[in-house]
Amino acid sequence: MTEHFEIVPMKTDEEMDGKAFVHWKSWQETYTGLMPQAYVDALTLEQAASWAHRWPQNTLVLKKGDKVLGFSCFSTSDDSGSDQTGEVIALYVLGDYQGRGLGLELMKATMDRLADKREVILWVLRGNEKAIRFYQRYGFRFDKTERTKAFGTELRMVLER
C-alpha cells in the first residue's frame, strides 16, 4: 500500500456507519446482475447500519483518515462449531479503491486474527469471478461443497495451513 491506510478493529459509531456504507455500496456494485435485483435492493443502508451497530465484534475496518474504505468480518469457528476452522464471513473494499492491494492487506489482517486455525473457509457466490480470482490468488481452493440460498448458489473455498 503506497498511501497511508490503517486496518483496525471496528469500535466507534463512525466506523460502524462507515462499514455500513461500504457494505451497502459494495453489495450494489458486486451483486447487481449476479443475483435477483430484489435481493440486491433488499439490503438498504439502514439495514446495513443496523447490522454494523448490532454486531461489531470480529470486524476489521480499512481506513484512510476517518473514511472507511473496506471491511472484513470473521468467525473463529465454522458452521459445525469446530475450533480448528475459522471463517471469513465478508470482505469488501469500495470499487474505487480496488486494484491497489488493499483487499490483500485486509485479508492478511483477517488471517492474522485467525492465525491459530488449521483451516479457514469462506463462501462465494457462483459467478462472482472477481472475488473467486482474488481468493484463489490468496490460496483458497474449492472443496466441492455448495449451498443454495434464495439469491443463488454459494461455493465453499478452503485455505489449509
pTM of the model: 0.94
pLDDT in tens, the chain (161 residues): 457 999 999 999 999 999 999 999 999 999 999 999 999 999 999 999 999 999 999 999 999 999 999 999 999 876 666 789 999 999 999 999 999 999 999 999 999 999 999 999 999 999 999 999 999 999 999 999 999 998 999 999 999 99
Note whether residue 10 is domain-resident.
yes
Note whether residue 19 is domain-resident.
yes
Note whether residue 20 is domain-resident.
yes
What pLDDT sits at residue 152? 95
The range of the structural domain enclosing residue 84 comes to 6-117
What b/e readout covers 17-28, taking b as 16+ CB neighbours within 10 angstroms? bbbbbbbbbbbe
Note whether residue 134 is domain-resident.
no
What b/e readout covers 52-88, taking b as 16+ CB neighbours within 10 angstroms? beeebebbbbbbeeeebbbbbbbbeebeeeeeebbbb
Note whether residue 81 is domain-resident.
yes
Note whether residue 149 is domain-resident.
no
Q: Give CA–CA dist 50/11, Å, rounded.
A: 15
Q: What is the CATH number of the domain that holds 47?
A: 3.40.630.30
Note whether residue 37 is domain-resident.
yes
CB under 8 A, 24+ apart: contacts of 79-86: 84/117, 84/118, 84/119, 85/117, 85/118, 85/119, 85/120, 85/121, 86/114, 86/117, 86/119, 86/120, 86/121
What pLDDT sits at residue 117? 95
Q: Give CA–CA dist 103/93, Å, rounded.
A: 6
Please tell me the total count of domains within the chain: 1
What is residue 13's three-state secondary structure?
A: helix
Note whether residue 31 is domain-resident.
yes
